Amino acid sequence: MSALPSWLDSLLARLGFTEWVNELRAVLRRGWPGKPMDAQPAVRSEPSQSPPTESTMPKKAKIQKTSRPQRAKTAKKAAAKPAAKKAAAKRGASASKRSTGASRAATTEAVKQLVDALQAHPQQKDLLTAGQQQKDQLLRSLIPLYLARSLGVEVTSGTTSRFWSKFGVSYAAPNAAKALRIHTGYASETKKGRAITAKGIRYVEDAIARG
């Protein structure tokens, strides 16, 4: 313990602490029991840190490295979907056009055969007059089926409409289909389309006989 200032030493002497101060000085000179005076505090060593390796790198960095190719792959798939849909739609449109073209060709051929059958029929004039003058939609729907009995062609409502248009009769395809739908028993459904029944044949022949 270093020397005290003179004023502090005088103050302690007046207060009766002179003996206590002397003992404290002696103890400090000798050192505290069991502890050297110049003992240095132990220095705590920090654990050495090794440089980061790939295995210790944050997972986020790895995700960023692998996410870029994944995003590119996803974007490529997303871009391919509209192209695939467009190609499918184009193929569907082409198939639809081919189907429509084939249907029109079949209808044209069927109409031609029906006209030929009418011209070769012994009651050609009576059949034509019945369809033109009698505003009987069922009769108009049945006459093409009547002519097609031995032809083996499919007669649709569109075929019937186009057949009558050849002779100046306006008969819409929906009306031709409706007449056969609401008057049952005059035509039947087959694998090749509608076919006239015995009841339908009698109906046509009765109409011809009435003139």
pTM for the whole structure: 0.53
Quote the DSSP letter at residue 193: E
**How high does pLDDT run on average in the chain?**
77
Q: What is the mean pLDDT of residues 104-109?
A: 84
Which residue has better confidence, 5 or 61? 5
Q: Predicted confidence band at 170 (pLDDT cuts at 50, 70, 90)? A: very high
Q: Above 60 in pLDDT, residue 48?
A: no
Q: What is the pLDDT of residue 53?
A: 58
Q: What is the mean pLDDT of residues 176-190?
A: 94
Q: Predicted confidence band at 19 (pLDDT cuts at 50, 70, 90)? A: confident
Which residue has better confidence, 25 or 114? 114
Q: What is the mean pLDDT of residues 177-199?
A: 93
Percentage with pLDDT > 90 across the chain: 38
Percentage with pLDDT > 70 across the chain: 62
CATH class of the 113-210 domain in this structure: mainly alpha
Q: Above 60 in pLDDT, residue 37?
A: no
Q: What is the pLDDT of residue 115?
A: 94
In this structure, of 62-66, 74-78, 97-101, 142-146, the range with the lowest mean pLDDT score is 62-66
Q: Per-residue DSSP letters for 124-162? A: HHHHHHHHHHS--HHHHHHHHHHHTTTT-----HHHHHH
User: At 170, is the secondary structure helix, strand, or coil?
Assistant: coil
Q: Per-residue DSSP letters for 37-56? A: TTPPPPPPPPPP-PPP-TTT
Cβ of 118: how many Cβ atoms within 10 Å? 21
